[in-house]
Structure formats: structure tokens, C-alpha cells
């Protein structure tokens, strides 16, 4: 039986407040994520005059969700492109091979 990954507790600061985060990820990764959220929230709060913290957090979450969705769409497009190119390359290779070189013709 394999042992489940252990959770670590990491203290991070977001918007001037400390949070103790329990995560399966490394402490460095958790801190990097928190820092990214903090920077995003700070950017949003700088843009809005007198913006309430909870509304800033919602806008930051929307900005991060938008970034996530755009990245997923780009990844899907890249996967499709790689699949198309690999199919084309495989086809080109098969057409250049002598039929006796193909594995299935033994």
C-alpha cells in the first residue's frame, strides 16, 4: 500500500493578511501561488478607487479564472496542432517507406 502524500502547513501573506495553508504541494509552490494571487489582487485594488476588499478579491478571482481559461484554450489548440502534425509526419514517413519495411508486413 502506498503512503498518501503528506500535507504541509505554510504561512503566506495575501493583501496584508497572513493565512496558514495546508497543501499537498511543496511549500515553495504554495508560496509562489499565494504571491501570484497577492500580486493580482494588488493590481486590481490599485485600479479601483475605494474598492472594498471582498469586491477586489472577486475581481481578482475573475481575472485569474480568465487567465486559466485562456491558457486551457491555448493548450487545447497546441494539442490539436501537435496531433495534426504528428499524423501528417507519420503519413509522410509511411509513404516513403518500402512496403516491406513496415512492421505489419513480416
59-87: per-residue pLDDT in tens?
A: 999 999 999 999 999 999 999 999 999 99
Residue span of the structural domain in which 91 resides: 8-96
- Please give the tally of structural domains in the chain: 1
Q: How far apart are CA 79 and CA 85, in angstroms?
A: 10
Backbone dihedral angles phi then psi of residue 12, each to the nearest 5 degrees = -125, 160
The predicted model scores a pTM of: 0.73
State the pLDDT confidence band at 53, using cuts at 50, 70 and 90: confident
Q: Is residue 79 part of a domain?
A: yes
Q: Is residue 101 part of a domain?
A: no
Class of residue 41 by CB neighbours under 10 A (exposed 0-12, middle 13-18, buried 19+): buried
* Contacts (Cβ under 8 Å, ≥6 apart) of 8: 22, 23, 24, 25, 26, 27, 30
Amino acid at each position: 500500500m502506498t503512503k498518501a502524500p503528506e500535507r504541509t502547513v505554510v504561512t503566506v501573506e495575501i493583501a496584508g493578511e497572513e493565512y496558514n495553508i495546508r497543501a499537498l504541494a511543496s511549500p515553495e509552490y504554495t508560496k509562489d501561488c499565494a504571491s501570484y494571487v497577492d500580486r493580482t489582487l494588488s493590481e486590481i485594488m490599485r485600479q479601483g478607487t475605494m474598492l472594498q476588499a471582498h469586491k477586489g478579491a472577486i475581481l481578482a478571482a475573475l481575472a485569474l479564472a480568465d487567465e486559466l481559461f485562456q491558457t486551457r484554450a491555448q493548450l487545447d489548440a497546441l494539442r490539436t496542432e501537435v496531433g495534426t502534425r504528428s499524423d501528417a509526419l507519420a503519413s509522410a514517413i509511411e509513404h516513403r517507406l518500402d512496403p516491406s519495411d513496415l512492421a505489419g508486413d513480416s
